[in-house]
Amino acid sequence: MGLVQMGFLGALGALAIPIIVHLVFGRRARRVDLGTLRFLRIALQENVRRRRLKRWLLLAMRLACIALLALLFARPYLLAEKLSSNERLVVILLDRSASMGLKTDRGRLLDLAVAEARKIAARCGSGTQLEMACFDHAVYPLGPADDGQATQSPKELLAALDSSEPTYGSTDYGAAMAWAHDVCVQSDCGRKELYLITDMQRSGLDRTDAPAMPADVEVHLVDLGQPYPKNVAVTRLAAQKLSVRPGQTNSLDATLLNAGQFPLKKVPVILHLRCSGRQQNVRREVDLDAGATATVRFDLPALTEGLWQGVVMAEVDDELAFDNRRHIAIRAAPPLRVMLLDGDPGRSAPTAETYYLSVALRLAADEDSFAETPFEPKTTKVADGAGLPDLTATDLVVLANVESIADADAKRLARFVGGGGGLLVFGGENVLAEGYRSFEKMGISVGKILGPQRSGTMPWRIDQWDRTHPIFFPMNDPQYADLRRPAFRFRTGLEPASGTDVLAQFRDGKPAMVQRNHGRGTMLWFLSACDRDWSDWPRSRLYVPLIHQMLGHLAGLTGGGPVRNVILDDADVAGEQRPAPGVVEHDKYCEVINFRGIESETDRCSPGELAGRFKCVIDSGEEKEKASGRPVTRVAATAELRENEVWHWVLLALMGILLLESCLGNRTTL
């Protein structure tokens, strides 16, 4: 049995109180000779023996009450009745964040950390269970996860350290301490030790909460940090525009941090951009005070069409090289070319099926076009069985109430979508099953077309939609857009086929918008018309943003746009595979991956701050153990209850003895 609050055992000194009461305040009978009362004397002697026994029993109960009361406040707990085959648990947490790549006179901090881990593991004898994990903003155990496999041997764990390299993730002590807490709590080893090997970076203290370390765990700190490292970092890079038109100018701002203790003059900062053999280089100089930041602006010349990728670099020789550069990408491209195929041209422009659609895409009327619109629409009439125009110079195709698609045109559309194009289809009175048999033949059908359907006395309204889909993500807040407001008098009925995703539904549960992927491209069907014949939707404020969202999704503009900035801490993938800083190109967008800027802040915390943050006492380094072999507790006692405490049983015994003492005391005179 162990005790959480050992100091309360001092209260056992109060055991002298009942003894004093019994010795000092006990009644003494006065002897009086009354003659020859032999038989009465014999009876009195027997009564005295019974009273003496009761008094000793009463004294024992009162002593037990005081002892149990002191034991209650000392909070006893049960030790494991049987130790596991591993009588000692050693947990090693090895900091592998980006700052551990700092170079010192003795070598990289990570190399020093691996050497320290090997020394600790070498001291683990037989009967020791060794658990190791590397961490940055997440924890990466070197042993097996919860997969039922046996624990790896120390030799196998040490072999895994050979491949350890600094990551670009930032430090999070809370995540590491929470993992170590879980490992220690689940272990039944008789002795538990935790070794934290780190550079004590202050920025990792307050990111994640962790429970207090159990009171039977010895916490040891191996501090490898350097007090005054020399480091200059590019911590932020922001472009005025990530997408521009060819020939437009642009600018970007770079923020630099001098984490060292001395000011620096005229630090060279270089912007390097490249695109298909073309280059743009701009050079600046900046003065940096100690511990301060400064911003440098780069005014870019006109960029030609293409994806311009590059870096901003601080040309300085310091001890932490990973943060001297930051990546950037700028896309110079003309507006997306949208082919509008009008299946009901009408007698005049305002009555055409695609009139409102064209105005919404151009963001201007009377054939004008707003300079910032991402779309360049071109309308083509396809009535009277006319075939589709050439799609070579087209990015997106829209079918608006088109009556039929020939087999040859459906084949061209299938090839267009499979190659990465986007197809948007609107319903209408002309959209019937017979006209879209060719879609089934080409494998691009979204389901069975049921033809036009008319609502009853009440119009249909969109009631449910996929709130996680990029199309609807900006519209989830009703104060920005309410998808339930537009009223639809007619719709095109559809029974979705297998592989078709229903993105939105009308109030009666029928589909309002469906999506299907084909090859590298995507098809969307909106099951109502895009003009005013079937609904009041084109007159609502929701029309323009929803049209832009649908076509933007097909072109890769939603979900962050064609150029998306990604922070490494938020971009982890499963297992040990982690992306590195740089530019990654996808079919319709690119990702610019950079590290989190706080990892360049080299301010250090003290062991006391670390201990206070995670409610533990850091071992001073002296090995002090009792003769019994049990380790001295080096963790502050907490107010939290242990799972194996037995105070409630002590309290129950105390109440029982108090009840017996009360009954016996009422029948016994001192």
What pLDDT digit, counting tens, does each position of 117-127 carry?
999 988 887 77
In 183-300, beta strands by DSSP E: 191-198, 217-223, 232-239, 243-244, 250-258, 264-275, 278-288, 293-300
Q: Pick the range with the lowest mean pLDDT from 64-68, 106-110, 397-401, 462-466.
A: 64-68
Q: How many residues are present in the chain?
A: 670
Q: In which band, very low, low, confident or very high, does the pLDDT at 569 lie, cut at 50, 70 and 90?
A: confident
The predicted pLDDT at position 31 comes to: 61
The predicted pLDDT at position 73 comes to: 77
HEC-encoded secondary structure of 267-302: EEEEEEEEECCEEEEEEEEEEECCCCEEEEEEEECC
What percentage of the chain carries pLDDT values higher than 70?
Answer: 83
Tens of pLDDT, residues 239-298: 999 999 999 999 999 999 999 889 999 999 999 999 998 999 999 999 999 999 999 999
Residue 260 has which token pair?
A: 């060292």
* Phi, psi for 324 (deg, rounded to 5): -75, -10
Tens of pLDDT, residues 47-62: 667 777 777 787 788 8
Distances (CA, A) of 150 to 61, 118, 136, 153, 159: 52, 21, 26, 9, 17
Exposed e or buried b per residue across 359-384, where buried means at least 16 C-beta atoms within 10 angstroms of its C-beta: bbbbbeeeeeeeeebbbebebebbbe
Query: Does residue 395 register a pLDDT over 60?
Result: yes
Q: What 3-state DSSP class applies to 664? A: helix
Query: Does residue 526 register a pLDDT over 90?
Result: yes
Mean pLDDT of the chain: 84
Q: In which band, very low, low, confident or very high, does the pLDDT at 576 lie, cut at 50, 70 and 90?
A: very low
DSSP state letters, 591-603: EEEE--GGGG---
What percentage of the chain carries pLDDT values higher than 90?
Answer: 53
The predicted pLDDT at position 651 comes to: 82
| Better-scored residue on pLDDT, 611 or 14 | 611
**Other residues' Cβ atoms within 10 Å of the Cβ of residue 583:** 17
The predicted pLDDT at position 78 comes to: 65
Q: Pick the range with the lowest mean pLDDT from 146-150, 327-331, 476-480.
A: 146-150
Tens of pLDDT, residues 173-205: 999 999 999 999 998 888 899 999 999 999 999
Closest CA to 292 of 235, 227, 226: 235
Cα(233)–Cα(259) distance, rounded to whole angstroms?
Answer: 8
Is residue 305 a contact partner of residue 264, using CB atoms and an 8 Å limit? Answer: no
The predicted pLDDT at position 153 comes to: 62
Query: Does residue 537 register a pLDDT over 50?
Result: yes
The predicted pLDDT at position 642 comes to: 54
